[in-house]
Structure 1
């Protein structure tokens, strides 16, 4: 289930706090609309919204264009008072980039080591079976099939470098934002 609870603070999950009057006219993105839909879904699953209310608000959430459009949909579901959460800043830190590249390099190395290891083990088993009758009686070379599959994964990992690094960077940014929120006063 979602991280939101009736007593939780969903405001920190938005990239900008919809309660902040300074951002009420700013256009929102799909990620923030997804957070809003999550809040509505949690309220529906808790029984705080009827099916009709949920459907109506979910439709409005999909059509919401500004942060100001979010408040009317949430004001009777979660507390709207309190300090506005500071905007979440995108991490442009070179440390995040280095950590993402390092994680990719580790994954690439591990995938190649795994492919070689699996291929060697299967080839050893095949050789043992082929030599079991006292002479060399090669059976169907099935380790080739295993090797093709194992190395295809390694090649795919190597070829999708940028995609993996971006995905890892996004994960590290989410982790950093979560840590920042824990360190905020009143958290």
Structure 2
């Protein structure tokens, strides 16, 4: 779990969502927040004082909304992945997405009709330029125009079928993502809160010891280099 946009998905419920802001935070949520703060400290984004202060607030968080100010300047403010958006999407929102997919197909069909037709007719006009009407050949671009236009008609006529097909695909994706989220939630609930707290305390103690060791080493090296010479 790193400090990227996916870090928000490590929580059972996204703390940024106003619908979740007043939900009580679990031990797993508090541990996730302290773990992210530990990574921020390890990367140099927080100094020791900031890390300790935020960690103390995270451990005392009562609701999910209390965790957002502690992490919002460390984790990118990007939306959740599409799959998780599908899990939360209402039937009306899924219908809207399916209709947007049909609209995209329609645009592609129209472009597929206009571009080849214009190019073919431009080539035909160039080749027929200067010839008498009796010398004109079969207008072969008409074949391209008819075929591509039929595709435009097909997309318009089959609107409901295309929307229904895309809606079924979105429903299938949502079911898969809901199943995956359920497995993640079950795995989090099986975590031992006491073990998580002990691991957090150990990581914090190790970080302080490492910082103290580095500080002592810097002081020792400074003293060795700039120590005034003793009397000869």
Give the TM-score category using the shorter length: 0.3 to 0.5
**How does the TM-score come out when normalised to structure 1?**
0.47
Larger of the two Rg values belongs to structure: 2
**How does the TM-score come out when normalised to structure 2?**
0.38
The structure whose residues are more often helix, as a share, is 2
